[in-house]
């Protein structure tokens, strides 16, 4: 009785849970339809924004393509999540249908079971027949006990034997009925065990459905969150794009100012270097010209002293030839001494002029070397400034390219 009551209670509970699942399935179906509608609306909005962005700004085509790819990926993820949710929903529907079929089959096969009224009736009959059988057994035992002490007549014996045969048949019938009842009880136990297994199986299926329903709810919430995140990301992307454009405009203006300042500074430095070079070159040329004129004067003096020296040597030679004459007087001797002194002075002047000429040539060589060093130094400075100018132009071009890439990436 308790088993049958539990069975009927479980059937009612299972029916209520199936109805609850049907209601939740209807709610889930409506939510999925809303998500699909929102996805379609979001797709249309994104397509409209993409077309509008492509028409309005051709300079940011690569950046827009990148954003479109990201949005397409997000949409594909949303669509895949939607398809997966739909698949889970279809699986839930199939599971619910399968449970309904099993419940219907279970209810159709319900007539094969023994009702509790029949079980109670059989139990009472078994108890009454067992009681009657026990009474018959007591009577039979009493009769057998009295057989040894009481002398029955032939008729009494015949009646007793007939009663004994009928009692034996009754006992056999009762035993057969008891076996049948035991068999029916075993069948009831089997039915009970089968029903318990079926109920456990249905409980597992119901638990699986509840878990899947929770999973569907989570998936739908995730899909809604993804759609909301995509909308927020779109708004943030537009805001970042505006901020990036403003920032790039400021950077472009600052970059142009830096470029102008660098060009002005470079021009002033090059002009200063050229001015210093020309001034130093002018001074060196003047010093070189002065040294050259001094060298020419010294050379003239050397030539004059050389001529005087040659004349004095000729005069000394002439006087020495005349000194061989015996009648050379003292005046000539004194004159010769004077000439020798003059010759010595002339040689001294000649040596001094030679030394000054050597010093002057060394000074000219030093000035030439200094001028060459200065020319090389200024050439190096000019080359260095040209390299700096080229490097600055390259940096400016690189910064312009980076600025363009930054605008495109926005």
What's the pLDDT tens digit per position in 254-284?
A: 767 776 776 677 677 767 766 776 777 677 6
The answer to whether 291 and 360 have CB atoms below 8 angstroms apart is yes
3-state secondary structure 359-403: HHHHHHHHHHHHHHHHHHHHHHHHHHHHHHHHHHHHHHHHHHHHH
In a domain, 19, yes or no: yes
In a domain, 396, yes or no: yes
My answer on whether 72 and 187 are in the same domain is yes
Section 366-392 average pLDDT: 75
Predicted TM-score (pTM) of the model is 0.28
Which CA distances in Å does 286 have to 278, 291, 300, 364, 365? 12, 8, 21, 12, 15
DSSP 114: P
CB neighbour burial string for 341-363, b if at least 16 within 10 angstroms, e if fewer: eebeebeebbeebeeebeebeee
My answer on whether 46 and 174 are in the same domain is yes
Q: How many CB atoms sit inside 10 A of residue 124's CB?
A: 10
My answer on whether 366 and 270 are in the same domain is yes
In a domain, 246, yes or no: no
In a domain, 63, yes or no: yes
In 3D space, the residue among 22, 196, 171 whose CA is nearest the CA of residue 99 turns out to be 22
My answer on whether 261 and 358 are in the same domain is yes
Q: Which of 14-28, 35-49, 236-250 has the highest mean pLDDT?
A: 236-250
What's the pLDDT tens digit per position in 342-375?
A: 667 766 766 776 777 677 777 767 777 777 777 7
Classify the phi-psi angles of 115: left when phi > 0, otherwise alpha if psi is within -120 to 50, otherwise beta.
beta
In total, how many domains does the chain have? Answer: 2
Cα 371 to Cα 13: distance, rounded to the nearest angstrom: 114
In a domain, 284, yes or no: yes
CATH number at residue 205: 1.20.1270
Classify the phi-psi angles of 350: left when phi > 0, otherwise alpha if psi is within -120 to 50, otherwise beta.
alpha
Cα 70 to Cα 268: distance, rounded to the nearest angstrom: 51
In a domain, 11, yes or no: yes
CATH number at residue 386: 1.10.287
In a domain, 337, yes or no: yes
In a domain, 249, yes or no: no
The answer to whether 226 and 75 have CB atoms below 8 angstroms apart is no
What's the pLDDT tens digit per position in 147-187?
A: 444 444 445 545 545 655 665 666 566 566 656 666 766 66
Range of the domain at 292: 257-409
177, 210, 240: which is the final residue of a domain? 240
C-alpha dihedral sign at 118, 119, 124, 129: positive
Q: What is the structure's pLDDT at 152?
A: 43
Is residue 389 over pLDDT 70?
Answer: yes
């Amino acid at each position: 009785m308790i088993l049958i009551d539990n069975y009927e209670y479980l059937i009612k509970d299972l029916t209520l849970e199936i109805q609850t699942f049907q209601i939740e399935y209807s709610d889930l179906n409506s939510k999925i339809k809303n998500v699909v509608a929102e996805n379609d609306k979001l797709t249309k909005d994104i397509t409209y924004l993409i077309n509008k962005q492509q028409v309005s700004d051709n300079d940011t085509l690569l950046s827009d393509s990148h954003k479109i790819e990201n949005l397409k990926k997000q949409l594909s993820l949303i669509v895949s999540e939607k398809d997966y949710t739909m698949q889970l929903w279809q699986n839930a529907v199939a599971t619910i249908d399968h449970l309904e079929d099993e419940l219907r089959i279970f209810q159709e096969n319900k007539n094969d079971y023994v009702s509790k009224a029949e079980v109670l009736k059989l139990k009472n009959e078994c108890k009454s027949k067992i009681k009657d059988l026990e009474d018959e057994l007591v009577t039979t035992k009493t009769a057998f006990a009295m057989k040894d002490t009481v002398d029955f007549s032939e008729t009494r014996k015949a009646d007793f034997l007939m009663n004994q045969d009928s009692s034996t048949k009754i006992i056999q019938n009762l035993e057969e009925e008891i076996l049948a009842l035991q068999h029916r009880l075993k069948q009831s136990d089997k039915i009970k065990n089968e029903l318990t297994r079926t109920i456990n199986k249905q409980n597992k299926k119901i638990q699986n459905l509840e878990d899947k329903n929770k999973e569907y709810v989570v998936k739908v919430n995730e899909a809604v969150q993804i759609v909301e995140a995509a909308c927020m990301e779109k708004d943030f992307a537009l805001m970042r794009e505006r901020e990036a454009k403003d920032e790039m405009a400021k950077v472009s203006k600052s970059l142009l100012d830096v470029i102008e300042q660098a060009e002005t500074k470079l021009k002033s430095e090059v002009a200063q270097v050229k001015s210093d070079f020309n001034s130093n070159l002018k001074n060196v040329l003047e010093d070189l010209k002065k040294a050259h004129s001094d060298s020419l004067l010294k050379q003239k003096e050397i030539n004059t002293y050389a001529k005087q020296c040659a004349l004095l040597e000729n005069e000394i030679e002439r006087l020495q030839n005349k000194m061989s004459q015996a009648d050379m007087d003292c005046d000539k001797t004194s004159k010769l001494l004077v000439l020798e002194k003059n010759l010595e002075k002339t040689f001294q002047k000649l040596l001094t002029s030679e030394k000054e000429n050597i010093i002057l040539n060394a000074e000219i060589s030093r000035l030439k070397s200094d001028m060459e060093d200065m020319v090389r130094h200024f050439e190096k400075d000019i080359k260095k400034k040209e390299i700096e100018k080229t490097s600055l132009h390259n940096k400016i071009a690189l910064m312009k390219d980076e600025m363009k890439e930054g605008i495109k990436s926005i």
